[in-house]
């Protein structure tokens, strides 16, 4: 078989050849190399802290991919994904601590239960559109936050839950490296599934609902059902990510699952690129790294002699965070996915400019 790394034309001979995710053999080979690097090189080269950051990147990327299916593809903005992330985290934690359910079933239960919660909060989408629906998802966020804090018999309230050690098929998951494998295997699988969903009739229906819901209905798409499917898939991703996160950090409290986290998820998909699966990964990477860099930087500055006593430097983090989002909206509204496309195509054409 001859490889077609950079075909200078369309050599396809059947419609089946148009189905693969990667258009060229170059794309296939480089992603294969990427996967090999990811699983066989990175865990051994990187230190514990770097792996910790990478694990967070992958967890947030799973949630961001989910949100992108709902917001970027189906066009329904959700301000509740921070709480959905929390629902998954709490379900998994409660199952593991109270009922001693093993690791794998717990995280899947986290995803499924969040999908059900997402379905409930998706019901208003039958009547509400745009801003009104957004506000109803905000209500969902606040209701769930309230439950996390006040249903103490179930969630242990503000004191939180300490999770037991996770094991998978008899292996202890304690180090960042062992978790790295679990998280990234799920990351790759869920990325692939999301890609499959958006390239079949489901994805087409989602995009049609986003672009023109009236016409979508005229073309035989039961739009309410598809909005609910989108809500369910999206919250499954968020809940699964939340469950992974809870088992990884091994202790949870209501604190992280606030409205602020919802906004961070939205920032991820805007910066990454709405309606792009790879974009969500870029966005999650960018925001997580930015967060890490900012808190490290601020921590460093606060310890300097000149700044001691100036507590006011802490909000600086939020300021830079907001600034970055605004700059992205102005200079590259299509997000990092578009930047990536431009970079790729200019490499392809190099040394010519077009």
Partner 1 sequence: MRAFRGEPSVYGDAQPAKRQAELKIEGLTLIFGGLMALNNVDLDVRNGEFLSIVGPNGAGKTSLLNSITGFYRPQKGRIIFNGEDIKGLRPHEVTKRGIGRTFQNIELFPGMSVLANIFLARHLYCNYRLAPASLFLPSIQKEEVRHRKIVEEIIDFLEMQPIRKRLVGSLPYGIRKRVELGRALALEPKLLILDEPFAGMTLEEKEEMVRFLREINRRWMQTTILVEHDMAVVMSISERIVVFNFGEKIAEGPPEVIKNHPEVIKAYLGEEA
d(CA 64, CA 287): 11
Shortest Cβ distance from residue 216 to partner 1 (Å)? 8
The 235-274 contact track toward partner 1, x by CB under 8 A, reads ----------------------------------------
SS3 167: strand
Whichever of 196 and 251 has its CB closer to partner 1, that residue is: 196
Shortest Cβ distance from residue 157 to partner 1 (Å)? 37
Question: Interface with partner 1 includes 229 (CB under 8 A)?
Answer: yes
**Quick one: which of 90, 81, 89 has its CA closest to 63?**
81
Q: What is the CA radius of gyration of the chain?
A: 21
Of 10-18, 131-139, 147-155, 284-292, which part binds partner 1 (CB under 8 A)? 10-18
Residues with Cβ < 8 Å from 333, sequence gap 6 or more? none
Strand partners, 37: none
Task: Yes or no: say if 111 and 236 are a contact pair by the CB < 8 Å rule.
Answer: yes
- Within residues 19-78, the interface with partner 1 by CB under 8 A covers 19
Number of residues in contact with partner 1 under rule CB under 8 A? 31
Whichever of 4 and 334 has its CB closer to partner 1, that residue is: 334
- Within residues 281-310, the interface with partner 1 by CB under 8 A covers none
Shortest Cβ distance from residue 276 to partner 1 (Å)? 12
Shortest Cβ distance from residue 338 to partner 1 (Å)? 14
Shortest Cβ distance from residue 125 to partner 1 (Å)? 15
Q: Is 354 exposed, middle or buried (0-12, 13-18, 19+ CB in 10 A)?
A: exposed
Shortest Cβ distance from residue 50 to partner 1 (Å)? 32
- Greatest Cα pair distance in the chain: 70
Question: Interface with partner 1 includes 119 (CB under 8 A)?
Answer: no
Shortest Cβ distance from residue 196 to partner 1 (Å)? 4
Q: What are phi and psi of 338, to 5 degrees?
A: -70, -40
Whichever of 141 and 280 has its CB closer to partner 1, that residue is: 280
Residue 346 burial (CB count, 10 A): 12
Question: Interface with partner 1 includes 191 (CB under 8 A)?
Answer: no
Shortest Cβ distance from residue 281 to partner 1 (Å)? 18
Task: Yes or no: say if 274 and 78 are a contact pair by the CB < 8 Å rule.
Answer: no
Question: Interface with partner 1 includes 208 (CB under 8 A)?
Answer: yes
Question: DSSP states of 26-72 as a string?
Answer: HHHHHHHHHHHIIIIIHHHHS-HHHHHHHHHHHHHHHHHHHHHIIII
Of 64, 156, 205, 243, the residue at the interface with partner 1 (CB under 8 A) is 205
Of 12, 130, 201, 348, the residue at the interface with partner 1 (CB under 8 A) is 201
Task: Yes or no: say if 80 and 198 are a contact pair by the CB < 8 Å rule.
Answer: no
Of 35, 193, 313, 343, the residue at the interface with partner 1 (CB under 8 A) is 193
Cis peptide before 351 (omega within 30 of 0): yes
- Contact residues: partner 1, CB under 8 A: 14-16, 18-19, 193, 196-197, 199-202, 204-205, 207-208, 210-212, 214-223, 229, 275
């Amino acid at each position: 078989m001859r490889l077609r790394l950079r075909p200078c034309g369309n050599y396809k001979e059947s419609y089946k050849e148009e189905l693969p995710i990667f258009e060229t053999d170059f794309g296939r080979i480089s992603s294969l190399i990427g996967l090999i690097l990811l699983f066989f090189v990175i865990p051994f080269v990187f230190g514990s802290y770097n792996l910790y950051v990478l694990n967070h990147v992958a967890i947030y990327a799973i949630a961001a991919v989910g949100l992108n299916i709902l917001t970027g593809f189906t066009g329904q903005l959700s301000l509740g994904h921070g709480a959905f992330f929390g629902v998954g985290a709490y379900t998994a934690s409660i199952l593991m601590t109270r009922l001693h359910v093993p690791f794998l079933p717990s995280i899947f239960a986290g995803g499924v239960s969040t999908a059900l919660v997402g379905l409930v909060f998706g019901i208003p989408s039958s009547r509400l559109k745009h801003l009104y629906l957004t506000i109803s998802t905000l209500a969902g966020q606040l209701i769930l936050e309230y439950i996390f804090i006040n249903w103490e018999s179930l969630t242990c309230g503000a004191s939180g839950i300490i999770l037991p050690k996770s094991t998978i098929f008899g292996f202890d998951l304690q180090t960042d490296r062992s978790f790295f494998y679990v998280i990234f295997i799920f990351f790759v699988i869920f990325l692939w599934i999301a890609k499959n969903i958006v390239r079949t009739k489901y994805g087409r229906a989602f995009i049609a609902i986003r672009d023109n819901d009236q016409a979508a209905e005229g073309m035989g798409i039961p739009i309410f059902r598809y909005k609910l499917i989108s809500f369910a898939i999206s919250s499954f991703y968020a809940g699964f990510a939340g469950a992974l996160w809870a088992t990884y950090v091994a202790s949870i409290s209501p604190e992280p699952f606030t409205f602020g986290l919802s906004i961070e998820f939205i920032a991820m998909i805007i910066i990454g690129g709405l309606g792009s699966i790879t974009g969500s990964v870029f966005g999650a990477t960018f925001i997580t790294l930015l967060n890490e860099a900012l808190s490290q930087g601020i921590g460093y500055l606060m310890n300097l002699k000149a700044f001691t006593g100036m507590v006011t430097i802490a909000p600086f983090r939020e300021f830079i965070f907001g600034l970055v989002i605004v700059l992205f909206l102005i200079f590259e509204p299509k997000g990092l996915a578009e930047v990536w496309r431009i970079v790729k195509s200019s490499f392809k054409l190099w040394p010519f400019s077009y």
